[in-house]
Chains A and B, each alone.
Chain A
Amino acid sequence: MGVLNSANTYFDRAAQIMGLDDRVKALLTKPEREVKVSLSIERDNGHLATFTGYRVQHNSARGPMKGGLRYHPHVDMDEAAGLAALMTWKTAIVNLPFGGAKGGIACDPRELSRPELERLTRKFVEKIHDIIGPQRDIPAPDVNTNAEVMAWIMSEYSKIHGFSPGVVTGKPVELHGSAGRDEATGLGVTLVLEQCLADAGRSLGDCSVAIQGFGNVGSHAARCIHERGGKVVAVSDSRGGRVDPGGIDVPALLQHVRSQQRIGTFEGGAPCSNEQLLTTPCDVLIPAALEDVFDVPLAREVQAGIIVEAANGPTPPEADDVFREHGITVIPDILANAGGVAVSYLEWVQNLQHVTWTLEEVRENLSRTMTSAYQEVAHLGRDRKLDLRTAAFVLAIGRVGRAAVLQGV
């Protein structure tokens, strides 16, 4: 179904419950601005090549707009617009003073050299510098972009507007980036899970956890859960995984993956497929890899009592219905993986104030943000008899709606 279709369904569900009609929905869903630019650069071989860049600014009612910049052949205006709207809801759920944006360049970065990527990035900034900025729109890394790309953007933007580290987040720590950004999403996932367990009178110490995906998010989540007393019983990457009901030695696994780049060759536990991981007996299941990992038959086999959506869009609406029927608590992606943008916000604040916070300060701040966001969503859910996903959307739509109305729309 895809992340965007699923998110639209969930948005519509919340909008219907709130009694929003099509006119109000248009106010909340139409992007404020869509920009498309042509980017011509000279390739290393002397040929000219022209690419298309996009930036969609969805809603600025709550503050400057925030969202990633991706380099991928499938980038287009529709995708950017849908993802920009999701950023508006995500920043509102965790109560950051941001709106949502998204963009990118339609290109295959594997076919471009590093100098070509740098020229393309700088050309993009040249074309959109007047619509981005620390008080307007703050891009961040996304698919196929990284801290180095952010450094190029900051450099190019600063040539025009003066020193402006706050124009992007996700920069290298050596260049005004923030401590704690790498682990932010994985730690955020752990923090909301802890809150969810605490509400049920439980703690990580009495939980078994299975994690699908061992990239940046999955591996940091595994580490954080292990450090806080949780038992990680299964992990996988795209090529398969390991399952051990007695608990996987997470530090050893992290070391193994650092050297071998794969989980399958790890010696602890027994091998398992990705599908087996999703249905393995455990208290908590964390899909941290792909969208649409659950279809209805698979959803019926899930044995976990809690699902924490670390990945974007792992649960299509029909699987979500199954989880609700089975009484499985789903902490939705739009809340669970908001730790990344929350630390982006902290990076932006440090840049604006010209200060540098320690890792402990960033973690403490992130903990406050995620804990409070979970509690607000859960409280609304209990109060209005809504599942966490619907409650999260209702909370976000309400916050954006109030900000818009207070400004006279």
Chain B
Amino acid sequence: MAQASDITEIPPTPLFGGLQQDDWSELVARAVRMELGANEPVFLQGQEADAFFAVLRGSVQVRTATPGGESALAQLSAGAVLGETSLLLGGTHSASVYTVEPSTLLRFRNDGLKEAIESGNRGAIRILYNIAHTLAVRLRAADAHIAELAKGAPVGSVVGSDLERLRNIFFTQWV
């Protein structure tokens, strides 16, 4: 059976940006590799959020329960990370995630990573920094969005969000 530690290449996603190879080897040893078929649940809305996930292959759909059934919020492909805020906030998943096609994911338990952070593990601290950075960027974009809404601009005409995201991509993640 394929092990998480077989994955020697660091996935090219901002969450793992700046990790060195030996950091990755230590981290991946703490992860569980999930090989799922099409339309299988990764996690369900309301379940305890005790881990986060990286999509290595395939694609997944984020769905939320509505009065009329489930509605799809987004489809994410290889490189996407799911549930990373749970590392900071815990709680329960606010949406369900299902595979769209046969997919490979890595599951990182929050308590294992917290333990690694507390023991000063360089890779785990880097991930924490990356999550904090992503959240800060999202917060800034949200602030811009709110500022636009406050000016009375119609929803959908917000100019801040795309540009903020571009600034983040071009001036922070990919400088």
Residues of A participating in the B interface, judged by any CB pair closer than 8 Å: 16-20, 23-24, 384-386, 394, 397-398, 401-402, 405, 409
Check if B167 sits within 8 Å of A405, measured CB to CB: yes
Kindly specify which of B6-14, B36-44, B98-106, B116-124 makes contact with the partner chain. B6-14
Check if B162 sits within 8 Å of A402, measured CB to CB: no
The winner among B17, B170, B173 for most chain A CB atoms within 10 A is B170
Q: Which residue from A20, A397, A402, A409 sits with its C-beta under 8 Å from B163?
A: A409
Instruction: Please give the distance in Å from A27's CB to the nearest CB on chain B.
Output: 8
Check if A401 sits within 8 Å of B173, measured CB to CB: no
Other 17 A-B pairs with CB < 8 A, given A18-B169, A385-B12, A405-B170: A16-B77, A17-B12, A17-B79, A19-B79, A19-B169, A19-B173, A24-B162, A24-B165, A384-B12, A386-B12, A397-B174, A398-B174, A401-B166, A402-B170, A402-B171, A405-B163, A405-B166
Q: Which residue from B10, B169, B170 sits with its C-beta under 8 Å from A385?
A: B10
**79-120 of chain B: CB within 8 A of chain A:** 79
Q: Is B1 an interface residue (CB 8 A)?
A: no
List of B residues within 8 angstroms of A18 by Cβ: 169, 173-174
List of B residues within 8 angstroms of A402 by Cβ: 170-171
**120-175 of chain B: CB within 8 A of chain A:** 162-163, 165-167, 169-171, 173-175
Q: Which partner residue on chain B sits nearest A401 by CB separation?
A: B170
Q: Which partner residue on chain B sits nearest A19 by CB separation?
A: B169
Check if A405 sits within 8 Å of B171, measured CB to CB: yes
B17-34: contact bitstring with A at CB < 8 Å (1 yes, 0 no)? 100000000000000000
What is the CA–CA distance of A23 and B162 in the complex, to the nearest angstrom?
9
What is the CA–CA distance of A294 and B161 in the complex, to the nearest angstrom?
43
Instruction: Please give the distance in Å from A154's CB to the nearest CB on chain B.
Output: 37
What is the CA–CA distance of A19 and B165 in the complex, to the nearest angstrom?
10
Check if A385 sits within 8 Å of B163, measured CB to CB: no
Q: Which partner residue on chain B sits nearest A400 by CB separation?
A: B170
Where chain B touches its partner, the secondary structure class is helix
Q: Which partner residue on chain B sits nearest A380 by CB separation?
A: B174
Instruction: Please give the distance in Å from B81's CB to the nearest CB on chain A.
Output: 11
Number of A-B residue pairs, CB cutoff 8 Å, is 40
Check if B79 sits within 8 Å of A24, measured CB to CB: no
Q: Which partner residue on chain B sits nearest A385 by CB separation?
A: B10
List of B residues within 8 angstroms of A401 by Cβ: 166, 169-170
List of B residues within 8 angstroms of A384 by Cβ: 12, 17
List of A residues within 8 angstroms of B79 by Cβ: 16-17, 19
List of B residues within 8 angstroms of A405 by Cβ: 163, 166-167, 170-171
Instruction: Please give the distance in Å from B24's CB to the nearest CB on chain A.
Output: 10
List of A residues within 8 angstroms of B10 by Cβ: 385
Q: Which 8 A-B pairs have the closest CB atoms?
A: A401-B170, A402-B170, A398-B174, A17-B12, A405-B166, A385-B10, A18-B174, A398-B170
Q: Which partner residue on chain B sits nearest A402 by CB separation?
A: B170
List of B residues within 8 angstroms of A16 by Cβ: 77, 79
What is the CA–CA distance of A23 and B171 in the complex, to the nearest angstrom?
18
What is the CA–CA distance of A160 and B174 in the complex, to the nearest angstrom?
44
Check if A20 sits within 8 Å of B169, measured CB to CB: yes
Known: A18-B169, A18-B174, A19-B169. A385 touches B162 (CB 8 A): no
Instruction: Please give the distance in Å from B135's CB to the nearest CB on chain A.
Output: 16
22 contacts between A and B (CB under 8 A): A16-B77, A16-B79, A17-B79, A19-B79, A23-B162, A24-B166, A24-B169, A384-B12, A385-B9, A385-B10, A385-B12, A386-B12, A394-B174, A397-B174, A398-B174, A398-B175, A401-B166, A401-B169, A401-B170, A402-B171, A405-B167, A405-B171
List of A residues within 8 angstroms of B169 by Cβ: 18-20, 24, 401
What is the CA–CA distance of A16 and B14 in the complex, to the nearest angstrom?
12
What is the CA–CA distance of A405 and B17 in the complex, to the nearest angstrom?
22
